[in-house]
Amino acid sequence: MIVDIGIVAVKAFLVLFMVLNLAGILGWIERKGSALIQDRIGANRASVFGFAGMGLINTLIADPLKFLTKEDFVPPEGDKFLHTLAPCMTLFTALVTFAVIPFGDVLVLGERVINLQVANLNIGILYVFAIGSLGVYGIVIGAWASNNKFSLMGAVRGSAQMISYEVAMGLSVIGILMVFGTLELQEIARGQGTLIRDMLPESAGFLRSTVGRLPAWGIFLQPLAFLLFFTAAVAETKRIPFDLPEAESELVAGYHVEYSGGKFLMFFAGEFAEIVTAAGLMTTLFFGGWQVPYLMRDGFHFPWGEAVVLPHLAVTALQVGAFTLKVIFFCWLQILLRWSVPRFRYDQVMRLGWKMLLPLALLNVIVTAIVIIALQ
Amino acid sequence: MDASVILFYVISVLLVLSSLMVVFLRNVVHCALALVVALFLIAILFVMLHAPMVGVLQVLVYAGAIMVLFLFVIMFLNPTASEPRRKLWWGFGSAAALLLAASLAALLSNGEAPADPVTATETFGSPETLAKSLFTDFVLPFEITSVLLLVAIIGAVVLAKREP
Per-residue pLDDT reduced to its tens digit, B95-114: 998 999 998 888 877 766 66
A49: in domain? no
**A80-A81-A87 Cα angle (round to 5):** 95
Over pLDDT 90: what percentage of chain B?
22
The segment with the largest mean pLDDT, out of A247-256, B10-19, B75-84, is B10-19
Amino acid B115: pLDDT: 65
Q: Collect all residues of chain A within an 8 Å Cβ-Cβ radius of residue B63.
A: 133-134
**Do residue A144 and residue B29 have CB atoms under 8 angstroms apart?**
yes
Amino acid B133: pLDDT: 86
A112: in domain? yes
B26: in domain? yes
Within this chain, do residues B12 and B71 fall inside the same structural domain, yes or no?
Answer: yes
B114 vs B90, residue with greater confidence: B90
Q: How far apart are CA A287 and CA A283, in angstroms?
A: 5
Within this chain, do residues B6 and B63 fall inside the same structural domain, yes or no?
Answer: yes
**Do residue B75 and residue A130 have CB atoms under 8 angstroms apart?**
no
Within this chain, do residues B76 and B126 fall inside the same structural domain, yes or no?
Answer: no
Query: Closest chain B residue to A77 measured between Cα atoms?
Result: B80
Q: Please give the backbone phi and psi of residue A308, each rounded to the nearest 5 degrees, phi first.
A: -125, 120
Q: Collect all residues of chain B within an 8 Å Cβ-Cβ radius of residue A130.
A: 56, 59-60, 64
Q: Which residues of chain A have pLDDT under 70?
A: 45-59, 204-205
Q: Are A290 and A305 in contact (CB under 8 A)?
A: no
A152: in domain? yes
DSSP A217: -
Q: Are B159 and B86 in contact (CB under 8 A)?
A: no
Residue B32 reports pLDDT greater than 80: yes
Residue B43 reports pLDDT greater than 80: yes
- B80, B96, B112 - which closes a domain: B80
Query: Closest chain A residue to B127 measured between Cα atoms?
Result: A123
The pairing of strands A112-115 and A307-309 is unpaired
Q: How many domains does chain B have?
A: 2
A31: in domain? no
**Do residue B64 and residue A136 have CB atoms under 8 angstroms apart?**
yes
- B19, B49, B80 - which closes a domain: B80
Amino acid B18: pLDDT: 93
CATH of the domain at B42: 1.20.120.1200
Q: In 3D, which of A41, A152, A320, A299 has the Cα closest to residue B75?
A: A152
Tell which of B41, B44, B71, B129 to mutate to test the A interface (max A CBs under 10 Å): B71
**A23-A24-A30 Cα angle (round to 5):** 85
A42: in domain? no
Choose among A79, A123, A133: nearest Cβ to B53.
A123
B9: in domain? yes
Q: Are A176 and A289 in contact (CB under 8 A)?
A: no
B32: in domain? yes
Interface check B135 vs A, CB under 8 A: no
A183: in domain? yes
B73: in domain? yes
Within this chain, do residues B1 and B76 fall inside the same structural domain, yes or no?
Answer: yes
Amino acid B151: pLDDT: 95
Amino acid B144: pLDDT: 94
**Do residue B33 and residue A136 have CB atoms under 8 angstroms apart?**
no
Within this chain, do residues B69 and B125 fall inside the same structural domain, yes or no?
Answer: no
For the ranges A200-204, A259-263, B42-46, B74-78, which has the lowest average pLDDT?
A: A200-204
Q: Give the range of the structural domain holding residue B133, as residue numbers without chain letter.
A: 121-164
Interface check B52 vs A, CB under 8 A: yes
Q: Is the peptide bond before A241 cis (omega within 30 degrees of 0)?
A: yes
Helix or strand run (H / E) with residue A299: strand A299-301
B113: in domain? no
B98: in domain? no
A124: in domain? yes
CA distance B89 to chain A (A): 29
CA distance B5 to chain A (A): 19
Residue B15 reports pLDDT greater than 60: yes
Q: How many domains does chain A have?
A: 1
Distance linking the first and last C-alpha atoms of chain A? 44
Helix or strand run (H / E) with residue A13: helix A2-37
| Bridge partner list, A307 | A301
Q: Give the range of the structural domain holding residue A311, as residue numbers without chain letter.
A: 73-375
| Bridge partner list, A51 | A48
Tell which of B27, B35, B75, B80 to mutate to test the A interface (max A CBs under 10 Å): B75
Interface check B68 vs A, CB under 8 A: yes
Q: How far apart are CA B69 and CA A312, in angstroms?
A: 51
Q: Which residues contact B65 (CB under 8 A, 6 or more apart)?
A: A133, A163
**Do residue A156 and residue B64 have CB atoms under 8 angstroms apart?**
no
Within this chain, do residues B69 and B143 fall inside the same structural domain, yes or no?
Answer: no
A336: in domain? yes
